[in-house]
Structure 1
């Protein structure tokens, strides 16, 4: 059957229906609620089991496997659109330097340990498997289905493969499940040991967090109308801006490729750079204020839901079974590091609310930031620990470094080898942790002992 524009329309229509069904399931099924399973994850599994590999009752086209990487290019195009605030490096370092160092090193070590330890084990135990598969573990675990599609696409291009995105999506799915279930286990253990400061047991989040359905009195606006509807619909203005940025990035990528065939700058990074340039132009010309960051972010979140759903629905089980040995070995490495981070690194380096801050990192380096936020809200329902605000400030700088990691690590892994690049990243990550210890101090005390500033914050909750 030929692929036509109607084929793509039908694919997205089917997935939209699955997302609808998944959300209704989330609102009714207690298991999905109690473990905060995202509706996009449920929709993806529905698509997988209803697709050609199982029941074969959903008429997806043969091109659905290409959607995750295309969607991540759209997602990256909007990352910097709508940003108008100026970044103050000195202020950020003084305010949240320890948070930045621990968060950033956790990501760098996520890649480094996967390449050094995971890559070494793959080379030793599975000599016939391409060693660069190790890079796909942190791509999926740390960045979710978005980074998995991005780095998987780069690996496909550099190695002339077709399975990089599929394996990356597999790691992303396993990472999400590990983050959710593993995080709940860590929280249960920490509450029994008295390590949680703001709750004594796993409490109940608001009902809307479980069902996903927000009651009328708690609803908030998604954004402001910055364009008058008589001239142009505000939503069309923002979506058009994102798609325009994506299109320009696509044109630039395929314009330079014939002249520099050996230079590989991932398409998603090109679209992101174009987004930075366009927003800079808008800010300088006075049009930046007409781009509402909330609408851009909500659009990106919507793209992410489709990205996750298509990513899971298009996982080829034959590929997963072919690489099941390396996948299981790498997943073990991927889960071990976040556990060490929570109960060893975070416990000794965070100045206060060490578990709350650590479990947030656990969530986002096994899945996505949304998983980290979900776990954080379980142990810090009123967001009193300062974890999220500190992360938001630190991430302004962290996001820049992160994008260099996503762009360059797969390229160097192919050109240098996974072991050398892994050793370099591990050295950088450890150096950052040592610097954090030297500059901000370390703590050797029982898990349940209060640290500076915690008693005052706890008292405000009791009052």
Structure 2
């Protein structure tokens, strides 16, 4: 990749995003279904790019952009700081604890239930399917294309030659289920009154429907905190976000090379941004008074639009029809699991802004982080539910659980230790439920329509 291929890729993305914005402003069907312009542009990129018609000259690197842009997005969240609400620290810890338990539970059930189903049911109908086949679901749905490729390579070295193609197919189906299923569920939730920040379409203003704000309703996206004579204010804020983004990557690379630990780079960047926030200080003598939070939010939001575009436009579709019967059964089990986790378990383990947090995890658990972020953006465009902040903080708790599955899983499943592997993740799932009940992170008695939003608890104190 050269700088010019990067320029061309982002130019094409920008053209499609602007075309999609125009379509969104004119087509009522798109408005009615809350379709973001970036998501629609992603589908146009998928159709016109190398994955299908191959009309637009995208480079082979477009699949890698989303993973980098995510780092920038989380740096924008961290640089605005994180602090427990005065007088509400207990509520904040409770919210994050319940959310962490929910995220860990979903990876547990996505591993042990499909593998068990594959061994006891699918392998009886299709005898050539081995005991590692069930892990294909989690690698694609939860891990995405990157994890599917990595685990598929490990499987291939152990004799499961079709694992990579099956994993990529799983990731593709997961993403499609995440996008289309997520939008359907969001529409259902708005009708039932479960969404906190986006209500039923009939109640939404014309500005929000079309996406075009009338002159009388426009507000400033920021103020000049730095004199342009010294440094452009926008350049100042971009620098504040690029520093933790780059340092997060370098630090994570050092950790991986030195200790062999593999953390999500966006989490490291978020931590670096938080440290910068603490170092700058928010008092009268601190540097942070020159940071405009609105500008930071808009930069992060802008990056999110491109993240969504490249995440969707780089989907690979060629191998969807391979292993049609067993893969179809496996995918069906996965879809059922994530739907139940959204509608049945989500409200049990999330109190405030339960749907916003649950729909993000639904999207995250059906392919890639970008899909979860896309769905969250539809229902919570300004992160009032604190989902992104909490994800960055509790994210590392999932890392060892995922690493063990992706590294040890193939060998255990193909080496006769399949029930031991299943038992480990069944136990993790049970522990999550028990802890939630014992610590009263289990909200089954509270009606869904009576749940508050996270920002309301801050205001109420």
State TM-score, norm by structure 2: 0.73
Query: Take 2:197 and 2:136, find their aligned partners in 1: how far apart are those partners?
Result: 42
Aligned to 2:184: 181
Query: Take 2:269 and 2:333, find their aligned partners in 1: how far apart are those partners?
Result: 34
Query: Take 2:147 and 2:374, find their aligned partners in 1: how far apart are those partners?
Result: 20
1:251-293 CA deviation, whole Å, 9 max, x = no partner?
3344454444x33234333333332333332228822232333
Shift of 1:68: 1.6
- 1:219-368 equivalent positions in 2, closer than 5 A: 219-260=218-259, 262-283=260-281, 286-322=286-322, 325=328, 326-341=330-345, 345=348, 357-367=353-363, 368=372
Inter-CA distance 422–203: structure 2 relative to 1 (3 Å threshold): farther
Query: Take 2:311 and 2:93, find their aligned partners in 1: how far apart are those partners?
Result: 35
Aligned to 2:135: 131
On the 8 A contact 2:139/2:406 being kept in 1, the answer is: no
Inter-CA distance 221–157: structure 2 relative to 1 (3 Å threshold): farther
Query: Take 1:57 and 1:199, find their aligned partners in 2: how far apart are those partners?
Result: 36
Inter-CA distance 337–215: structure 2 relative to 1 (3 Å threshold): same
On the 8 A contact 2:225/2:292 being kept in 1, the answer is: yes
1:201-258 CA deviation, whole Å, 9 max, x = no partner?
8743122222111222222222332221111111111112222222223333444544
On the 8 A contact 1:253/1:267 being kept in 2, the answer is: yes
Aligned to 2:403: 411
Shift of 1:156: 8.6
Aligned to 2:3: 5
- 1:128-207 equivalent positions in 2, closer than 5 A: 129=133, 131=135, 133-134=137-138, 136-138=140-142, 168=171, 171-185=174-188, 188=191, 190=192, 203-207=202-206
On the 8 A contact 1:149/1:165 being kept in 2, the answer is: yes
Query: Take 2:388 and 2:69, find their aligned partners in 1: how far apart are those partners?
Result: 23
1:280-332 CA deviation, whole Å, 9 max, x = no partner?
32228822232333322222222121111111111111244457534443223
**Alignment: residue pair count:** 412
Query: Take 1:294 and 1:149, find their aligned partners in 2: how far apart are those partners?
Result: 34
1:152-180 CA deviation, whole Å, 9 max, x = no partner?
79869998998878965753443132122
Shift of 1:13: 0.3
- Which runs of at least 4 in structure 1 moved beyond 6 Å after TM superposition? 149-166, 195-202
Shift of 1:373: 7.2
CA RMSD of aligned residues (A): 4.2
Aligned to 1:142: none
- 1:40-55 equivalent positions in 2, closer than 5 A: 40-55=38-53
Query: Take 2:203 and 2:257, find their aligned partners in 1: how far apart are those partners?
Result: 57
Gaps of 5+ in 1: 140-147, 378-387, 458-463
Shift of 1:47: 0.6
Shift of 1:14: 0.2
Query: Take 2:356 and 2:252, find their aligned partners in 1: how far apart are those partners?
Result: 36
